Amino acid sequence: MSLLRLRAVLRGPGGLRGPGIAWRIFRSYSSASTKEKANRNVPCERTELLEVLKARAKQLQGSSGPEVTVSKVEVAALDNDKFQEAVVPGPKEKQPIPRAQGDGLAQSSTWAKKMQKEMYSQQPKMKQELGSAASQLALEAKGEATPKTKTTKSPKVPKTKAAPAWTQSSGSPHNKPRAVEVKGAAELKRPQKMPKDTSNQQVLQQTIQANLECFLFLQQAEEAERYLLLCHSSPVKRKVMDVGAFNIVMRIWARKGSLNRLERLFSILEAAGLQPNLDSYATALECAGRTQSPAKAVLRYLQQLNSSGFHVDELFQKCLFEEDEKEKVLFAIRTVQPNYQLPPPPSPKISKSSLLQDFYSRETMGAYPKLDFSVQELRERFQQQLHMELKNTVTIESVEAAKPLTPQAIKARELLGTLRSQWRDAILQALQNSKRSMARPKRMSKYNVLYPYLCLLPDEEYVDIMLQILNDLSPQGESLAVLARELGSKVYDRYIIQRKLRSGQLEKVQQIYESYIQLLAKDSQPKQYLPREYWEKLVAEAGFGPSLNLKSCTWPCVLLMRLGMHMLELLVKAVKVPRNILNRRLESKPIPVLYHVYSFYSNWQVGLIRPHPIFSQLVSNAAETTLTFNSSAMPMLCPPVPWTSPTFGAFVLSDTKLMRFMDDTTHHQLLLEQCPLVNLHPVLDALNQLGNCAWKINQPVLDIIISIFNDKGDEKLDIPPPLSEAPKPPTPPGNSSTWSKSFKHEVFLCKKKAAEMHSLRMDALYKLSIANYVRDKVFWFPHNMDFRGRTYPCPPYFNHLGNDVTRAILLFAEGRPLGPKGLDWLKIHLINLTGLKKKNALQERLEYANEIMEDILDSADNPLTGRKWWMDTDEPWQALACCMEIAKASRSPDPAAYISHFPVHQDGSCNGLQHYAALGRDLSGAASVNLVPCGLPQDVYSAVAQQVEEFRKKDAERGLKIAQVLQGFISRKVVKQTVMTVVYGVTRYGGRLQIEKRLKEIDEFPEEYLWEASHYLVKQVFNSIKEMFSATRDIQNWLTESAKLIAQSGRTVEWVTPLGLPIIQPYYRSRSTVLNCGMQRLSVKTPNSSQKPDTVKQKNAFPPNFIHSLDSTHMMLTALHCLRKGLTFVSVHDCYWTHALTVDVMNQVCRQQFVALHSEKILQDLSEFMLEKYCSSSSSSTEPIAHWQKRLKEQLSNVPSTGEFNLKQVMDSTYFFS
Question: Which H or E run includes 922?
Answer: none
Distance CA 672, CA 1057 (A): 13
* Long-range Cβ contact pairs of 326-329 (< 8 A, separation 24 or more): 326/544, 326/545, 326/546, 327/289, 327/544, 328/285, 328/286, 328/287, 328/289, 328/290, 329/282, 329/285, 329/286, 329/289
Distance CA 211, CA 452 (A): 8
End-to-end CA distance of the chain: 43
Phi/psi-derived region of residue 392, left when phi > 0, alpha when psi is between -120 and 50, beta in every other case = left
Q: How many CB atoms lie within 10 A of CB 182?
A: 27
Amino acid at residue number 880: L
Q: Which residues contact 525 (CB under 8 A, 6 or more apart)?
A: 518
Distance CA 1017, CA 479 (A): 42
User: Residue 803's closest CA among 763, 748, 861, 757?
Assistant: 763
Distance CA 625, CA 618 (A): 14
Pairing of strands 106-107, 93-94: parallel
CA distance readout (Å), 631 to 14, 29, 497, 514: 14, 12, 12, 22
Interior angle at CA 149, CA 145 and CA 154, nearest 5: 65
Q: What are residue 596's DSSP bridge partners?
A: 609
Distance CA 906, CA 1129 (A): 11
Q: How many CB atoms lie within 10 A of CB 857?
A: 18
CA 850, 851, 855, 857 dihedral sign is positive
Q: What is the dihedral of CA 390, 391, 393, 395, to 10 degrees?
A: -130
Which ranges of 904-959 would DSSP assign to H, the alpha helix?
A: 911-920, 923-928, 940-957
Q: How many CB atoms lie within 10 A of CB 82?
A: 11
Amino acid at residue number 702: L
Q: Which residues contact 369 (CB under 8 A, 6 or more apart)?
A: 1123, 1126
Distance CA 104, CA 721 (A): 37
Pairing of strands 899-900, 816-817: antiparallel
Distance CA 656, CA 1041 (A): 36
Distance CA 997, CA 979 (A): 15
User: Does 976 qualify as catalytic in the annotation?
Assistant: yes
Collapsed DSSP state (helix, strand, coil) of residue 1130:
strand
User: Does 776 qualify as catalytic in the annotation?
Assistant: no
In the set 907, 955, 1097, 1173, the catalytic residue is: 907
User: Residue 1137's closest CA among 822, 800, 828, 794?
Assistant: 800
In the set 54, 837, 976, 1085, the catalytic residue is: 976
Which ranges of 475-612 would DSSP assign to H, the alpha helix?
A: 480-502, 505-516, 531-542, 557-574
User: Does 664 qualify as catalytic in the annotation?
Assistant: no
Distance CA 1055, CA 618 (A): 55
Q: 661 with 787: CB under 8 angstroms?
A: yes
Active site residues: 907, 976, 1134
